[in-house]
Structure 1
Amino acid sequence: MFDFFTNPHNVLQLSNRVLGAGLALLLAGIYGAYLYDGHLPIVALVSLHAMTIIGPTLLKIGYVMRLLSQHRLGQCPVGAGV
């Protein structure tokens, strides 16, 4: 398990997946919780509102993973200190 995280290429691929999942959760949560006009059960509404919190959390985690893996690969983006 720890061997997976020692390879920066694996972490970069995982971060891309986490970023995609976070964006999908955020957009689905916003659409379902705020833009959809149909009637939904309370469990679905609570889940959709939770997705608007979980989505940005995954975006932040994925972005930090991406920055760390790029740093370890020597591909620091322009403007990033260190």
Structure 2
Amino acid sequence: MFDFFSHPQNVLQLSSRVLGAGLAMLLAGIYGAYLYDGQLPIVVLVSLHAMTILGPTLLKIGYVMRLLSQYRLSRDLVRVVA
């Protein structure tokens, strides 16, 4: 598992998936918790509200992963060129 995170290209691909999942969770949570007019069970409603918190959290984690992997890729590229 640590070998997976030692390659910046793997982390970059994972960050794209984390960003997509975070965006999907955020949008589904906003729609279900605030825009949907139908009756929902309380468990579903609580889950949708939680998604409005977990979605942006995943967005932030994915963005930081992307920044770190791009930094490592550019640093490795400079090292190869020099």
Structure 1 length-normalised TM:
0.90
5 Å-filtered alignment, 1:56-71, equals 56-71=56-71
Q: Which amino acid in 2 is paired with 1:39?
A: Q
- Are 2:32 and 1:14 equivalent residues in the alignment? no
The correspondence of residues 2-81 of structure 1 with structure 2, limited to 5 A, is 2-74=2-74
Q: Which has the larger radius of gyration?
A: 2
**Paired positions, count:** 75
Q: Give the superposition deviation at 1:70.
A: 0.1
Which amino acid is 1:19 matched to? L
The superposition leaves residues 42-82 of structure 1 with CA deviations (integer Å, 9 ceiling, x where unpaired) of 0000000000000000000000000000000008xxxxxxx
Please report how far the alpha carbon of residue 41 of structure 1 lies from its aligned counterpart in structure 2 after TM superposition. Answer: 0.4
**More helix by percentage:** 2
Whole-angstrom CA distance in 2 between matches of 1:63 and 1:40: 32
Q: Structure 1: where are the runs of 5+ without partners? A: 76-82
* Residue identity (%): 85
Which residue pairs with 1:79 in the alignment? none
